[in-house]
Amino acid sequence: MLIGWSKHQSSESLRQPASYLLDPEVRKPVGSAEVVERRVPVPELLVGHPAVFQSAVFALRFKRKYRVTTLSFHCEDIDVHAFNEGNEAARRQVSAAINLFLEVAFAGIPEPSRPPVLVGTHTHLDRLEINIATPRFVRNSGGSVRSFNPHPPKRGSWFLWDALRDVLNFNFGWRSPNDGTSAQKLRGPDWVEKRLAAAERHGTTFDPAKDPKPFLLQAARLIAAHHAVDAPNPYGKPFPEIVAELGFRIEHRNRFSMRLVHPDDPHPLLVRGRHPLSHGDIAPDPAEALESLQRYWTRRAQQNSKRFSQGTWSEPQPDWASRLEAPEVRIPPCHPDFAGPSSAVPSAGMPLRVKLQVYLSAMAKALGVMMAEARILQYLSAVPVAPFNSLANRLEKLNAEYDQTRLDGGPDGRTVRPAPPGSRPRRGRSELGADQRASFRDRADQGRDGAADRKPGGAAPGAFRFRGHEHPAGKRGGEPAADAVIHRVDLSDLGTSGLSRGRLIGLIVRAARGAFPGKPAALAMDQDGRLKIRIADAMIQICSDGTVKGVGDPERVGALVDALAEYIPIRSGEATAQVSTDQPGP
């Protein structure tokens, strides 16, 4: 068994890292591509609650929010099938490993001051992986949240975790990475190891241009393996030449480690392990490993007490031997997929006590689901459905009165309503009437290209002006020439059509934008209740009696009236525009 630490300590997703630990499917890089990996059997939750854990992580305002650790077991350390089925010895060993890990991670910190942790398993690779996620905080002696890192980047931290690894491996007989029998002679950082493991499972290789570091470590392992069995070099060239071709250089630190340095990468690739011709490291004996664990734990506990409680915490050192025999961490008796009697013949490796506990748990779970469904059905049947009948119509009406009346450049997007007679005008340019804004625009544009031309007599009250557009008669301004074409369409049944004012405005805007997409539209209503809309050299005016008048370019006015006829119910005999030379009223 070996202990590895993930490089990821924060994520923009609110579901990480619980999603990676427990999801049945996960997208991960394989070689230089990404694939969706299915986990069968699905990960098992051993300790903690995902919702509580993610809430604690989300509430942190630190840049680095969590740490994820993996206890990776050799396939011969623990039988994953027996573990999932509820083998008591395997489950007790895993409970002890988790218990000791938490005591080392929070050395000297009392239980109430520790954060909620999340522990899960991965067994889909036919070997056991224990994933432990810890939020990066503790509560100090005053109850305040303080940032905390269970594995700070210090040399003493590596000694502490290596001592824990050796104690667990010696006590349970698990394979150690330093025993000289492991096939993995060269090892890189944890993130590179994960990518190499996924690539080896799928039989893929790395592209040296995209992923030079995983490629170099993979090449080093292959060359070392072929060198050990006197087989030809699969790359046809020694490893130093491959390193040089990719722009790296080798820096030997000692006979058990080297660094691959690139001038454009500030983070070198550190490769640890034995040379193929060396005899490997000599593992310490169990007594030395336990002594190292006690010594480094005491040092870490003193540091945590001084930092978070000014030395007031004095937690005693755990009894490591008793924790190994009778761990205080409780995990489920078996994997949930193996909780029910899946076959007529139970597993031979499952004790009778565990079988009874599993079956009773399954019965309790099924009974709880039935009771919950019955209670939900009882409450739903008592809810009256009459108030929900007109909900869709009401929402549609509100949407028409609010959302569809928002025009380009509108001050607040509210439905246009005529000002009541005698009301005091509100101050502020954004709340001025349409006539005043038009007057201001006319004054500001005088003497410039595209300015509005006004007649000597001035514009009539409530007039709607065009600016910068050439009309068929060759004149500018909002008043049509004598030979301008005026369309009249009678909508006398508009009041009986069931349309509200907000709905009518929304339909007019939709028709205008549908006839001239991308053109800005302007909407106004005067005190007499006449609604006017202008878009693309065309203007229509809807009077309070339901009469629609069009002014401007005949073709565009006609297109606008035709588009409006598709939304507003017009009687069939009045759908055709009537041409007149009369001047429309103000």
- DSSP annotation string for 531-561: EEEEETTEEEEE-TTSEEEEEE-HHHHHHHH
Q: Please calculate the CA angle 295-300-303 and round it to the nearest 5 degrees.
A: 130
Relative orientation angle of helices 501-515 and 391-402, to the nearest 10 degrees = 60
Mean pLDDT of 490-515: 64
pLDDT band at 275 (very low <50, low <70, confident <90, very high): low
The pLDDT assigned to 578 comes to 38
- Is 66 or 352 the better-scoring residue by pLDDT? 66
When pLDDT is averaged across residues 139-149 and rounded to a whole number, the result is 93
pLDDT of residue 451: 37
pLDDT at 217: 87
Look at the chain and count its residues.
Answer: 586
The pLDDT of residue 119 is 96
Residue 70, pLDDT score: 94
pLDDT at 431 > cutoff 70: no
pLDDT of residue 64: 92
Distance CA 545, CA 493 (A): 10
Which pLDDT does position 284 carry in this prediction? 54
Give the number of other Cβ atoms within 10 Å of residue 146's Cβ.
14
C-alpha closest to that of 401 among 389, 413, 415:
415
Q: Which residues contact 77 (CB under 8 A, 6 or more apart)?
A: 1, 127, 128, 172, 174, 175
**Would you say residue 576 has pLDDT above 70?**
no
> Residue range 370-374: average pLDDT?
83
- What distance in Å separates the CA atoms of residue 568 and residue 527, rounded to the nearest whole number? 23
The residue written with tokens 């108030």 in the block is 387
Angle in degrees, 0-180, between the axes of helices 155-172 and 88-105, rounded to the nearest 10:
160
Mean pLDDT across the stretch 245-253? Answer: 83
**Residue 371, φ and ψ in degrees, nearest 5:** -65, -40
CB atoms within 10 A of CB 524: 18
For 75-88, b/e burial (b = at least 16 CB within 10 A) is eebbbbbbbbbbbe
| Consecutive H or E run containing 26 | strand 25-30
Joined tokens for residue 152:
């700070």
- The pLDDT of 277-299, averaged and rounded, is 73
Higher local confidence (pLDDT), 326 or 277: 326
Give me the pLDDT at residue 544, please: 62
Q: Structure tokens of 62?
A: 């630190």
- pLDDT reported for residue 69: 95
* pLDDT of amino acid 493: 44
What confidence score (pLDDT) does residue 383 get?
79
What predicted TM-score, i.e. pTM, was given to this entire model? 0.50
pLDDT above 90 covers a percentage of the chain that reads 27
Per-residue pLDDT for 83 more than 50?
Answer: yes
Which range in 11-25, 109-123, 218-232, 434-448 is most confidently predicted, on average pLDDT?
Answer: 109-123
Confidence of residue 347 (pLDDT cuts 50, 70, 90): low
Alpha-carbon dihedral angle through residues 311, 315, 321, 325, given to the nearest 10 degrees? -140
Residue type, 17: P
pLDDT band at 255 (very low <50, low <70, confident <90, very high): low
